[in-house]
Amino acid sequence: AIHTPSDLPKIGFKDLNYFVGVIGNLLWVATFSMIKIGTDHLSEKSKLESVEKEKAESELSSLKNQINPHFLFNGLNSIYGLSITNDERTSDSIMKLSEIMRYVLYECNDEKVTLEKEIDYINNYISFGKLRRKHVDQIKFDVQGDIIGKHIAPLILIPFIENAFKHGLDSQIIDPWIAVEINIEDKELIFKCSNSSSKKKDILRRDNGIGLANVRRRLALLYPDLHQLNITAQER
């Protein structure tokens, strides 16, 4: 049968308002649900990012704190060695150690420090190292380039210098030496730390030490895809 428009059921004004209201409510529920789902997704993403950030900051703090006791132990041991022989350099050593610890404990709480302060710290560390060692003429520290206005993660370079002192000067080697170079080229920092060693294989084995492992992890967290680290054994 064919129905003409006049045969179809009539929809009154009240019925029309009812249907419009139902459709409107459905659209509102659907829209609210989509917004709620989107909001929940953003909230979960924000929470995950916050957790990851806190985890990274906690890990960085832990890695940095593993370095501090090492500084203090070696420093006090060095001063003790000078004091029992009434060495006139004892007071200078205490002053240098005080400056080193002040920097480590009070000025390295931020993620980045000025490159000037970090280089001053390295210079103090090397000067302190010279006070208790022979062969001071074989300890070289050179900085090239503009360091003003640059920033760097604190204590990121010092483990290499610590290793150089330990394995380059404090081991039983004839004519030991250390060479530390920092070169600033625009926004790039090139750091090179070299030291004498008795055996190449010893250097490569020490590459897996705790100090260098910490540096690798900090570099990965702070400078992802923005750094290169090469440790090699070669003839001077």
Q: Per-residue pLDDT tens for 25-55?
A: 555 555 666 666 666 666 666 666 665 666 6
Q: How high is the pLDDT of residue 172?
A: 63
Residues 138-187 have pLDDT tens digits of: 889 999 999 999 999 988 898 898 888 887 776 667 778 889 999 999 88
Q: What is the pLDDT of residue 145?
A: 94
For residue range 47-79, list pLDDT tens digits in order: 666 656 666 666 656 556 655 566 677 778 878
pTM of the entire structure?
0.68
The pLDDT of residue 228 is 92
Q: Give the pLDDT score at 151.
A: 94
- Cβ-based neighbours of 142, under 8 Å, separated by 6 or more: 179, 180, 181, 182
Helices 210-222 and 13-65, packing angle to 10 deg? 150
* Structure-model confidence comparison of residues 87 and 203, the more confident one: 87
Name which of 111, 122, 110, 114 is nearest 71 in CA terms: 122
CB-CB neighbours of 220 under 10 Å: 13
What's residue 43's pLDDT?
65
- The pLDDT assigned to 155 comes to 87
